[in-house]
Structure 1
Amino acid sequence: MVTQLSARHTRIVTHLLIACIAILAAAAPIMPAHADPADINAAARGVVRVVIVGDDGDEVYAVSHGSGFAVSPERIITNAHVVQEAVDDPSLSIGIVPADGENAVYGRLISVSPRNDLALIETTSPLNLPPLSIASGNGADSGPVVSVGYPMNVDRAQGLNMEDIFHSTPPVKSTGFLSGRRPSRDFDTLLHTAPIARGNSGGPLLDECGRVIGVNSFGAESGGADAEFFFAVSTRELLPFLRANDVSPKTNGLACRSLADLNQEERQRAQREQMMAQQKANQAEAALAHRRDEIRRTVNYTLISEREDGMAIALLLLIIALGGGGYAVLSHREGKRRAVAIAGGITILSVVGAMISWISRPDFSSAQDRVERVLRAEMEAEEDTGVIPAGDTAQQVTKQCTLDVSRSRITGSANDSLDFKWNDNGCVNERTQYGLSNGEWSRVFVPSSEAAVTISRFDPQSGKYSMDRYLLGRDDLAKAREARGDYQTPECGGLDAAREVGASQDRVISLLPDQPNERLVYSCTDKSE
């Protein structure tokens, strides 16, 4: 009874705690995602200075400049009015100066649309620029925004002349707020307060996740004073323009979410799962206690029956012994020796049998042992006793994974689903060895053609597959590539190979920032072949 009451009270407390957590989670205010400097900095590495270049035969000189941003590794968006001089004067060229440590190259004009002030340029030499993601969908008409570009007034304040702008320098970032969407000059624009000046034209207007929501174009006039409101060509104009010119940009229509929000949700999720696991354990414990009581009652009933049977047999044998003894006495008086021997033998056997039956009666102290044996047999019958084989014969299953948008922070584009073959020793698709470190399966990917490092992680127990992407600058990416080049990943080879990969990857991981720019979380289940 005490055990049943304790289990019942534990279940009640568990339910109350789960309810409290749910209420607190629902009542907690949803904080807006603040602009992450890492996201803005990552996007800024794809912003370029667009320079109109003249050549008098003796030297190359800058005529004017604006800004632009990459929509593919070698294609750049800017304003039509930034390149208009080069359109009107064939002797002028277009120069592209990247933000991050590369030489300037010439650009070739692909398309110009004066109606909505857009132009598309292609580099004539590879720059391998990191393309910016473009926010798709209707989007919000308010909220924080960031303008990125190369304002001339900043160049003048720094003492830079037109020749200096051929050298790579970081773009200027200015913050403000989106003030609404409105058509202007026959095309769709966004009104905002993130300051821009001459030279900013063609640069991106970013949301808090570093995604392009517009192309900065012009400012509102205010009687000769500095403009307080500014206009950007909206993505309603930008996306059709790109697609008309066979450019498939990275797009993202999801809400901007901060990693802090996701991490808080993951902590709450872990707490709920822990509470549910505790509740399940309490229920299992209560069921086990109930089953133990049932078995104990059955065992006690059986013991009583067995003891009574033993006593009854002993009594019967004693009666037989008395009868045999009496018959032996009578036979002795009558001189029947053979009858005496038979009766005496029966008497002795009956007495011995009665003693054995009495002594062999089950004791009540054995009841607990019987209960535990019955429980153990039932539990073993329910358990899956299959053993995971080791080495080359380890179990392999195909995992079907679905993107969990609620647990992800997607700043670019992502696959909605993916499949892969998982081996218990961490071999993926029969060729890629994952590393095992601190009980976690992971693989670090440092590409040679993309300014990003990706860490893929898989938890076979929960079925969670995640990819953290770190968008790095030129110097940090060079260090990561150098660290990655210091080791060779072994072929799939069991746990020894997994631990070797895990130890080798640690140096690359130690060079990465504390937080990724993007996190994709997938929920995986076994796929039937």
Structure 2
Amino acid sequence: MTEQFHFEKTSDFPHGQIMIKKLVLFATLLVTGLFSGPAQADPADIQAASRSVVRVVLAATDGDKVAFVGHGSGFAVAPDKIVTNAHVVEIARNEPTVVIGIIPSQGGKSFGGKVIAYSPGNDLALIQVQDGGRIPAMTVFSGPVADGASVIAVGYPSSVDRAQGLDLDDLINPMSPVKTRGSVSGGRSTREFDTILHTAPIASGNSGGPLIDNCGRVLGANSFGSLSDGNDAEFGFAVSNREIMAFLRKAGVAANAASTPCRSSAEISREEQAREFAARAKVEAARRAEAAEREALEESLRTSISQDIIVERENQMALAALMLFLSLIALGGAAWLLMQQKINPAKAAAAGAGVLFLGAILVFIARPSFSEIDDRVAVAMKEQMPDEDEENPQTGKAQPGKYICRLNPDRSRITVSQLDEVPFEWAEGGCVNGRTQYARDGGRWSRIFVPNEEQTVTISSFDPARSEYITERYLLDLMTMTRARDIRKKYGNKACTADAQVLSDIEDMVRAIRVELPGQANERLVYECSKTE
């Protein structure tokens, strides 16, 4: 008999409701070959996504009595707005005694909730978080979802709660959601609305929880699974990201969205290593070529100068011999004039002979020496191949002025935000945009930004030698964020200054907060900068 399948909602409700080039190329291929491998989900991204997932609890009130009705999952698309399935909150819309509770994955507080948008046609609902609650918002992937793509379902399956023996008091306390992995099985969707079929295990209670990619971005909202013989199925259906974005636009919510393909940190790191390796190989090849050119030029100059010196020596020695010969003739003439009793002419001839003799000696002594070859070659080399450092004494140092920095997506890992261009003004001593003081951070100048309202730490860095501006974002859990804020309070927020102590304090702050951060940023944007007029 053919096995019969039916569909069931996954909320926990009764009855389950609805050369140089060659060398560079070789280096690139070598490094890529050495470090290549399949892209994997970064645990830091999955952990960051989990911050935004909540348990949506429904309870019936009767005076002082409260009865648990059921629960589902949801995720934040704004600090005070939660997306879940329409069928999760359906009973709360129909029964005024049923209230909604929003239980975050971290912290020590729970919040009330109110449905502000409801779309049963595609099983989506939007909840307003009450009581001043704020939850880190997720980013929705707005591009196409590839068949076979790796996905993770995040939520609160009731089967896990039951296996752990959790009671109602446990369910209304913050706890980490469950993560399960699978892949997209493309080409199949429901008739009622656009869905994503996937193999990440889901169960009752996962309804409304996000289906995310390896970068922690929302691909869909888990809605229901196929069941066989009454058991939780191996396939799940998630309301697609296209349906979610259209629903949010209609509800007037501007959610974070990103369309760039997910790239693992390891992949970016491999490519950066290959780029650095290729750049070093190119520099080394250029250095070797320049050295060969200098060697050839030096050899040519040495040969030419040696010949010139030989000619100069021979000329001066010939001149000295001529002057000596003339001095002997003059001396003979002086003797003859003296014999003729011509005293004064004889004296003049003798003086001339003496001058010619001394001149001959001086010319002979002044002939160029072969030891001058090295000095003349050095002078000629400086004239024809000047030292780059002498030509540009500012090489490798910060150049003050205004820049326009443009994003290089091939070198970036974009997960939560994107600015294609960043205006940037750099001044000596690390003053940025005339108001923010950066501090030395290895070969860069960096500043760490720790906001009070968000659970995100951002490190902005400028490398003046390469004209690169880099933004690294860390999506942190509440405990790590609290530690980062405590460190920042010790140092304060200083404006541009030349005070050595303040600069030292900022450097200390950068180092101290870095210690608390994960080893890998969730997002890394690389901007290549050029000076503007």
- Does the alignment reach a TM-score above 0.5? yes
Distance in 2 between residues matched to 1:26 and 1:157, nearest whole Å: 46
Task: Check if 1:260 corresponds to 2:266.
Answer: yes
Alignment partner of 1:272: what SS? helix
**Does residue 192 of the first structure (1) align with residue 195 of the second (2)?**
no
Q: Does 1:482 align with 2:482?
A: no
- Amino acid corresponding to residue 289 of structure 2 in structure 1: Q
Question: Contact 1:218/1:231 (CA < 8 Å) preserved in 2?
Answer: yes
- 1:5 equivalent in structure 2: none
Indicate if the aligned counterparts of 2:32 and 2:274 stay in contact, CA closer than 8 A.
no
Q: CA deviation at 1:327?
A: 1.8
Deviations 1:212-260 (A, max 9, x none): 1110001113232332211110112111111111111111222221111
Deviations 1:336-364 (A, max 9, x none): 11101111110100100011111110011
Aligned residues of 1:181 and 1:188 also touching (Cα < 8 A): no
Indicate how the Cα distance of structure 1 residues 396 and 30 shifts in structure 2: closer, same or farther if over 3 A, else same. Answer: same
The counterpart of 2:302, out of the listed 276, 292, 296, is 296
Going from structure 1 to structure 2, the CA distance change for 1:181 and 1:135 (only over 3 Å counts) comes to farther
What is the deviation of 1:22? 3.9
Please give the secondary structure, in 2, of the residue aligned with 1:281: helix
Residue-by-residue CA offset, 1:22-66 (whole Å, 9 max, x unaligned): 443566695332122221111011011112233212144432221
- Whether contact under 8 Å (1:487, 1:504) holds in the other structure is yes
Deviation at 1:501, TM superposition (A): 1.8
**Is 1:284 aligned to residue 290 of structure 2?**
yes
Q: How does 1:205-244 map to 2 (within 5 A)?
A: 205-244=211-250
Give the equivalent residue in structure 2 for 1:68: 74
- 2:469 alignment partner in structure 1: 465
| Aligned equivalent of 2:422 | 418
Letter in 2 for 1:468: E
AA partner of residue 352 (structure 1): L
Alignment match, 1:153: 159
- Is contact 1:73–1:128 with CA below 8 Å preserved after alignment? yes
Bigger Cα displacement from structure 2, 351-360 vs 138-147: 138-147
Q: Hey, what's the Cα distance between the residues in 1 that align with 2:182 and 2:205? A: 18
**Residues 448, 457 of structure 2: 8 Å contact kept:** yes
C-alpha distance in 2 between matches for 1:110 and 1:93:
14
SS of the aligned residue for 1:339 comes to helix
CA contact (8 A) 1:426 1:498 kept: no
Of 120, 126, 142, which aligns to 1:120?
Answer: 126
Q: For residues 484-513 of structure 1, what are the alpha-carbon distances to aligned partners after superposition, in whole Å with 9 as ceiling and x for unaligned?
A: 211135433348354442233211111111
Indicate how the Cα distance of structure 1 residues 36 and 388 shifts in structure 2: closer, same or farther if over 3 A, else same. closer
In 1, the alpha carbon distance for the partners of 2:22 and 2:141 equals 43
In 2: Cα distance, 1:33 partner to 1:23 partner: 18
Other-structure match for 2:50 = 44
Match of 1:9 in 2: none
Q: Are the counterparts in 1 of residues 78 and 137 from structure 2 also a CA contact under 8 Å?
A: yes
**Identity over the aligned pairs, expressed in percent?**
42
What is the TM-score normalised by the length of structure 1?
0.91
Residue type at the aligned position of 1:373: V
Deviates more, 1:354-363 or 1:467-476: 467-476
Which one is further off, 76-85 or 286-295?
Answer: 286-295
Contact 1:148–1:200 (CA<8 Å) still a contact in 2?
yes
Moved more, 490-499 or 415-424: 490-499
Are 1:443 and 2:447 counterparts? yes
SS in 1 for 2:278: helix
Query: Size of the alignment, in residue pairs?
Result: 512
CA–CA separation in structure 2 for the residues paired with 1:397 and 1:105: 49
Is 1:403 aligned to residue 407 of structure 2? yes
1:526 aligns with 2:504: no
Q: Which amino acid in 2 is paired with 1:441?
A: W
Structure 2 match to 1:455:
459
* Mapped contact 2:202–2:232 kept (Cα < 8 A): no
Q: What secondary structure, in the 3-state scheme, does the structure 2 residue paired with 1:121 have?
A: strand
Match of 2:252 in 1: 246
Q: Aligned-residue CA RMSD in angstroms?
A: 2.3
Q: Retained in 2: the 8 A contact 1:204–1:212?
A: yes
TM-score by length of 2: 0.90
Q: Structure 1: which 5+ residue stretches go unaligned? A: 1-11
Q: Distance in 2 between matches of 1:522 and 1:16?
A: 27
Cα distance in 1, alignment partners of residues 276 and 499 from structure 2 = 28
Offset of 1:15 from its aligned partner? 7.3
| Structure 2 equivalent of residue 512 of structure 1 | 517
| Aligned residue type for 2:409 | V
CA contact (8 A) 2:62 2:97 kept: no
Residue number in structure 2 paired with 1:4: none
In structure 2, the CA distance between the partners of 1:193 and 1:461, relative to structure 1 (3 Å rule), is same
Q: Structure 2 matches for 1:253-402, cutoff 5 A? A: 253-380=259-386, 385=391, 396-402=400-406
